[in-house]
Amino acid sequence: MRHSTNHLRYAFDQGCDTYITGEASLYTIQYAHFIGLNLLVGSHNFTEIFGVEKLARKILEINDGIKIIQLNENHFELNHR
């Protein structure tokens, strides 16, 4: 979860009012509150990957006027040996 506040700032600057993620640190939660960004945090791993993608698709079904951006990042669990 490197530079998660950078991701929140980018989303906020793009007009995002709610950021949905599978993981967050206390600092990330505090930063979202500081900039006035709604933050929804699920649990780790499967929620982070599959749950958030499914939720995004469901939100698009309800309101196709929103823009969803997928941020890809390297997971250190996969690269760290």
pLDDT band at 80 (very low <50, low <70, confident <90, very high): very low
Among residues 3, 54, 51, 55, which one has the least CA distance to residue 24?
Answer: 3
pLDDT more than 90, % of the chain: 37
CB contact at 8 A, 48 and 16: no
What does the alpha-carbon distance between residue 57 and residue 79 come to, in Å, rounded to a whole number?
Answer: 29
Q: For the segment 42-64, what is each residue's pLDDT rounded down to a tens digit?
A: 766 666 677 778 888 999 999 98
Domain ranges of the chain: 4-66
Phi/psi zone of residue 14: left (φ > 0), alpha (ψ -120 to 50 degrees), beta? Answer: alpha
